């Protein structure tokens, strides 16, 4: 098995497993909207249900569930297509895409199973809360951040390959 596919399998299995296990634990042990303070005025575990996307975007849209399922499926297919085209030396890219893929699948499972996504990580500064999120969301964000770094590094690599070698004097 090629390293990139092994990486996809391992990363996806771990991320999806942790994502679904934490969501199941929260669902079974907490009441909706209940909160546990972890770090005062900074971080709580707060059980939320999100019918929309980030920041509850499109939560009231009447076709939101089929829309989000379709968008998730398209994302998974597009990521798989990009994955197939990776060069053997693009392990960093494979890792980043694996995170995004796993996050998309983790949230897709919730949407198919529950019609919404379970969120529970609540970062805030006193009364100013960032929208609650979950392990799948974190994997997507980290994966996209790593892809941005990878694109920067790849652009620099391509520029170096195009530069003529320095002239030697002799």
Catalytic residue IDs: 119, 137
Question: Tokens 């790593």 correspond to what residue?
Answer: 146
Residue (of 111, 102, 100) closest to 70 by Cα position: 111
Asked if 136 contacts 100 with a C-beta cutoff of 8 angstroms, the reply is no
d(CA 53, CA 106): 14
- 50 is written with which tokens? 């999100």
Residue (of 4, 117, 124, 133) closest to 59 by Cα position: 117
């Amino acid at each position: 098995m090629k390293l990139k596919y092994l990486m996809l399998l391992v990363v996806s299995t771990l991320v999806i497993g942790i994502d679904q296990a934490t969501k199941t634990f929260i669902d079974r042990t907490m009441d909706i909207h209940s909160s546990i303070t972890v770090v005062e005025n900074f971080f709580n575990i707060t059980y939320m249900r999100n019918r929309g996307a980030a920041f509850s975007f499109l939560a009231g849209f009447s076709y939101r569930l089929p829309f989000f399922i379709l968008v998730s499926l398209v994302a998974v297919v597009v990521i798989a297509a990009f994955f197939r085209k990776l060069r053997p030396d693009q392990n960093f890219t494979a890792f980043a895409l694996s995170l995004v893929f796993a996050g998309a699948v983790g949230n897709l499972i919730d949407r198919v199973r529950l019609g919404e996504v379970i969120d529970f990580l609540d970062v805030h500064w006193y009364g100013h809360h960032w929208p609650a999120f979950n392990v799948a969301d974190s994997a997507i964000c980290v994966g996209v951040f790593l892809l941005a770094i990878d694109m920067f590094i790849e652009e620099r690599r391509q520029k170096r390959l195009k530069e003529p070698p320095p002239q030697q004097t002799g």
